Structure 1
Amino acid sequence: MSTTPTPQPGPAAPPPGCPAHRLYGPDAEADPMGLYEKLRAQHGAVAPVLVQGDLPAWLVLGHRENLDVARTPSRFSRDPRRWRDMQEGNVPADHPLTPMTAWQPVCHFVDGVDHERLRGAITESLERFDRRGIRRYVKRFADQLIDAFAQTGKTDLVAAFAEPLPMLVMTQLVGAPESYGPRLVEAARDMTRGTETAVTSSEYVSVTLRELVARKREVPGRDFTTWMLEHHTALGDDEIVEHLRLVLIAAFETTANLIANTLRMVLTDSRFRANLSGGHMTLPDALEQVLWDEPPLMTILGRWATGDTELAGAQIKAGDMLLLGLGAGNLDPEIRPDATVPVHGNRSHLAFSSGPHECPGQDIGRAIADTGIDTLLTRLPDLELAVPESDLEWNASLMSRHLVALPVRFAPRGSTVTGSTAIPGGRRPPSAPARVAPAAPATPFAGEWPAARSSWWARLRGRR
C-alpha cells in the first residue's frame, strides 16, 4: 500500500473579496445549475465552495478542468486519507460526508497498482456478460413492473418503475435469488436518502451480500459474483462484498436517475419529444442528451490534491478537496456555447466521469435505461403527465438531484401474454422501511380515455 504524504498546513482560501458559496442547504439545492453559473461568472472554471460543516473545497466547473482532475491521479488522488480536514479531526464520525469519504479498500478509494488490481477484477468480470442477455432481463422485469400497474391507468413512474428496475436487473446479474430484488430496492432507496433507518438498511445490504458470496463459493454460477470469486487476482471475501455493494448501489442510484430524467424529458419537453417523434432522434440519442443536460450525478466527491498545484488560476494546496462538477462541466460555454442546441452522436459528456475511475458499468446502465424505457413506451404509448410540470418536486443533495415522483396517466391495459402480474418477492426484512405505494396523480383524470388515441411513440417505432 502506498504511503500518504503529509499535507502542508493552511486552509484553502478563496481570492480576496470572493467569499466561498455553500453547496448545501435549501438555497443551493433549489437551483444547482443556477448556482453553478453564478460561480462560473464570479470565479471561472474553478470556484471556492463550502460543503457541510462549512468545510472548504474547490468545485471544478470547466469541462477541460474536470477532465484534467479526473485523468491525473498523480496530482489529484482519489484517496480520502489525504484530506487535510479529515486528518485534522474536522470530519467527525457523524458528519454527513463521512459515509462517502471514510476510506475503504475499494477500487474508487485507491490509485496506482491497488486500483488496477481491484478495478481489473470488476471490468473483466463485467465484460463477460452477454449484452443481449442483459436486455432480456431488462425486458422481463420491465414487463413485470408494468403489469403491476397497467390496469389502473395511473402510476408514479419513479417509485413503480425507474427505481426498482435497475436493482431487479442487477440482482440477477450478481447471481442473487429473485426474492432478493424487491428487498434490496427498498434498502438501497432508504440508505441513499439518508433516513433514520439508513444505517440499518446499509447493514442489511452488507449481510445479504455476505450470504450471497458464501453461497456462490459453494454453488458457482454464470454471474458477476462467481466471476469475481474466480478472478486471478484472488480477491478476499471482504473485498468482493464491498465491490458488489459498490456496483449495486452505483447502478441503482445512477440508472434510476437516468430513467426518471429521460421519462420526464419525454413527457414535458416539447422540443425533446418532437425530435423523438419526428425521427430526428433515437432513444439512445435521447439518453445521451439527458446525460449531457441532466446527468444522474451532478457532482462527484471528491479528489484530494497530492501537493500544492494550480488549476485554472486557483491555487490548490496539498490536502485540499476538489469536487468534480459533472453537471456544470457539461454546460461549460467553452464547449457548448448554446446549451439549447441538441448534442447528437457525442459522448464526450462527463456523466460517467473520466480517467482511471471512469464508471466501469456505464454500458450496462445504458442498456437498462434504453430497454426499460423502450418497453414502457411501447406498452403504454399514450403516457401523459398527470400533474402540471410546475408541480413536480425534487430532492437535492450535494451530489445529485432526484425527481420525487413522476405521476402519469394512460389508458388502462391488461398484463402481458405471459400472465405475469407482479415482481417476484419475499418477506421484507424487518430492518427495511415499508414500501411506499405509488402516489396517485394530484389532478385526477376525469372522463373516459379515447379508445383510438393516436400514439407518437407507435409512429416513431414504425420508422425503425
Structure 2
Amino acid sequence: MTTPYYDPTGTATAPPPDCPAHAGGHDGLRRLYGPEAEAQPYALYEQLRKEHGAVAPVLLHGDVPAWLVLGHRENLEVMSSPQRFTADSRNWRALAEGRVAQDSPLLPIITWQPLVAFADGDAHARLRSAVTDSLERISAHGTRRYITRYADRLIDDFGSQGHADLLSDFAQKLPALVLCQRFGIAEQDALRLGAAVRDMISGSATAIESNQVVEKVMRDLVERKTRQPGEDFASWLIGHRSGLTAQEVAEHLRHSLVASMSTVINLIAGTLRKVLTDRGFRGSLSGGTMTLPDSLDQVLWDDPPLAVVPTRWAVRDTTLAGQQIRAGDMVMVGIAAGNVDPEIRPDLTVSVHGNRSHLAFGAGPHQCPGQDIGRAIAETGIDRLLARVPDLELSVAEDELTVVGSWMARGLTSLPVRFTALRVEQQAGTPAPAVGAALPDAVPQRETAAEPGPARKPRRRWFGWLRR
C-alpha cells in the first residue's frame, strides 16, 4: 500500500533521502509529476511548504514551471478572485511561448474548450446558468429512488457469492448508472460509457480512443434529445434560455459526466475503505457521534477525490503569499495540500467531520455545481450497501490495498471484501434484468408511474450494522 510519510490521518515520519520530496528538476525546482512524487504526494506538499510557504514553484510534465498553492486561505483567494486568476487557459504564457510539447499530457486537461470551466465574466455567467438551472430541475427524490434501485441490483449481482470487489462491482458502476439515467443516456450504454470514461482519464494507450467513444455518445445524445426531448439534464441544457449551441451542450455533458463520475467513484471507494480499515472512524459511526453525511466530509478533508486542479492563470503580475507571480503563470489549486494546512488543521488526528469548509468542491464562481447529486449517490449507495451487507470485511490485509494515480488524483485499484452470502430472491413474474442489460425502450422513461417504487428515506443515525 502506498502511504505518505505525512498524511491526513496523522501518520508522520521523516522522509528518507530518496523520498520524492528530495527529487528536483532544473533550477532546483521540485517535480510534481513522476512515479516518485506521485507515490508520496503529502510528503512532497510538506517539504514544499517548509521551503516556500503557502505558495510553491514546481515543475509539471516536460519540466514546465507552475505554482502550487498549499495554503487553505490562499487557495480560497485564488478560487474567489477571477479578476486576478482567470480560468481561461488561453492566458497560459508557457503555452503561448511554445514551451509545452505537442504531446504533453497537460494538453487534454488545459486546452481551451467552450466550457463553463474555462470561462469568466459574462461568458461564465451564461454557461453557468444553463448548467445550474438544469441541474436544479433534477428531482432529488427521484434521484435517490434510482440510486436505491441500481444499488440493489448491483448488490444482487454479487450478493449470493459472499465476496466482491467493492471498487469494480459497486463504486465504479453505481455512479455511471445513476448519472447516465439522469443525463438521458440509455441504461444499456451506461456501463460501457463508464468504462470509457475511466480509461480516458487513466492516460492509458487507448485513452484517446475512449475519449472518442465518449464524444460520440454525447453528440448522438444531443441529436436525439433535440428531436425527442425528455425530463433529463441533456434536454434541459438544450432547451435553456441561454441558447447553448449543440457543441456547447455536448461539451458540457461530457465534462459534467467525466468530472462527476471520477470524483464520486473515489468518494465511495474512499469512504468504504475508511469504514473497513479505521477503527476510530467506525467507532464514531457506531456510537452515533458521526452521521454518514458527516463521514463523507471527513473523507473529503482527508482524501479528496481531486488533489490538484490546474485551471487558473494569473491575469496580471501579482503577489500571493509573498511570491511574485507573473501574468500568464499557471497557479494550481492544491486541494489536498490546502486541506492539511497546519494553519487550519494543526493536529490531523482531530476529527473534522461535520465541517464543510474543505476545498474538495472548490469555491467562488467555479464551485462544483453538481456536488449535491454526487453526495447523494455516495450517501444513498453506501447506506444501501451497508444496510444489506452488514458484515463486510476486507478479504486481504490492509497493507495489500494499493493506491495509484497521478499528480492530480489518486485512487484504489481494488477493494476486495467478504461477507455472509445473501439469499437473493425475485418476486414472481418480475425478474430483474442484469445491470446494463438492454431494455425494451432505449430512451429512459419520464419520472411517472413507470419509475421505480418509493425507496426508504436515507437514515442519518442508523449504524447498528457496525455493532459487531
TMscore range, shorter length: 0.7 to 0.9
Deviation string for 1:349-388 (max 9, x for gaps)? 0001111111000011000000000011111110001111
Q: Is the 8 A contact 1:276 1:460 kept in 2?
A: no
Distance (whole Å) between structure 1 residues aligned to residue 72 and residue 151 of structure 2: 35
Q: Is the 8 A contact 1:278 1:460 kept in 2?
A: no
- Choose 26-35 or 241-250, whichever is displaced more: 26-35
Structure 2 residue aligned with 1:184 = 193
Structure 2 residue aligned with 1:20 = 29
1:93 Cα offset (Å): 2.8
1:39 Cα offset (Å): 1.0
1:416 Cα offset (Å): 5.5
Structure 2 residue aligned with 1:459 = 464
1:414 Cα offset (Å): 2.5
1:344 Cα offset (Å): 3.2
SS in structure 1 of the partner of residue 369 of structure 2: coil
List aligned pairs for 1:286-435, cutoff 5 A. 286-415=295-424, 417=426, 419-420=431-432, 422-426=434-438
Distance (whole Å) between structure 1 residues aligned to residue 466 and residue 419 of structure 2: 19
Structure 1 residue aligned with 2:60 = 51
Match of 1:214 among 219, 223, 242: 223
Q: Which runs of 5+ in 1 are unaligned?
A: 1-16, 428-455
List aligned pairs for 1:213-292, cutoff 5 A. 213-292=222-301
Identity of aligned residues (%): 55
SS in structure 1 of the partner of residue 59 of structure 2: strand
Q: Is the 8 A contact 1:143 1:416 kept in 2?
A: no
Q: Which amino acid aligns with 1:425?
A: A
Q: Is the 8 A contact 1:147 1:420 kept in 2?
A: no
Does 2:108 align with 1:103? no
Structure 1 residue aligned with 2:98 = 89
Distance (whole Å) between structure 2 residues aligned to residue 197 and residue 134 of structure 1: 32
1:458 Cα offset (Å): 5.5
Structure 2 residue aligned with 1:123 = 132
Match of 2:175 among 131, 141, 166: 166
Distance (whole Å) between structure 1 residues aligned to residue 276 and residue 62 of structure 2: 38
Q: Is the 8 A contact 1:46 1:60 kept in 2?
A: yes
Q: 1:232 to 1:39 in 2, by over 3 A?
A: same
Structure 2 residue aligned with 1:77 = 86
Distance (whole Å) between structure 2 residues aligned to residue 261 and residue 422 of structure 1: 26
Distance (whole Å) between structure 2 residues aligned to residue 257 and residue 238 of structure 1: 29
Q: Which amino acid aligns with 1:216?
A: K
Q: Which amino acid aligns with 2:65?
A: P
Q: 1:410 to 1:86 in 2, by over 3 A?
A: same
Q: Is the 8 A contact 1:24 1:397 kept in 2?
A: yes
- Choose 160-169 or 60-69, whichever is displaced more: 160-169
Does 2:233 align with 1:204? no
Q: Is the 8 A contact 1:381 1:457 kept in 2?
A: no
Q: Is the 8 A contact 2:298 2:354 kept in 1?
A: no
Q: 1:398 to 1:161 in 2, by over 3 A?
A: same
Q: Which amino acid aligns with 2:394?
A: L
Structure 1 residue aligned with 2:455 = none
Q: 1:338 to 1:458 in 2, by over 3 A?
A: closer
Over the aligned positions, Cα root-mean-square deviation in angstroms equals: 1.8
Q: 1:18 to 1:267 in 2, by over 3 A?
A: farther
Match of 1:139 among 148, 151, 163: 148
Distance (whole Å) between structure 1 residues aligned to residue 326 and residue 424 of structure 2: 60
What count of residue pairs does the alignment treat as equivalent?
Answer: 418
Distance (whole Å) between structure 1 residues aligned to residue 139 and residue 466 of structure 2: 25
Distance (whole Å) between structure 2 residues aligned to residue 424 and residue 43 of structure 1: 50
Q: Is the 8 A contact 1:382 1:411 kept in 2?
A: yes
TM-score with structure 1 setting the length: 0.87
Distance (whole Å) between structure 2 residues aligned to residue 367 and residue 243 of structure 1: 21
SS in structure 1 of the partner of residue 159 of structure 2: coil
Q: Is the 8 A contact 1:20 1:48 kept in 2?
A: yes
Distance (whole Å) between structure 2 residues aligned to residue 18 and residue 70 of structure 1: 28
SS in structure 1 of the partner of residue 283 of structure 2: helix
Q: Is the 8 A contact 1:392 1:403 kept in 2?
A: yes
Distance (whole Å) between structure 2 residues aligned to residue 34 and residue 380 of structure 1: 36
SS in structure 1 of the partner of residue 175 of structure 2: helix
Q: 1:381 to 1:421 in 2, by over 3 A?
A: farther
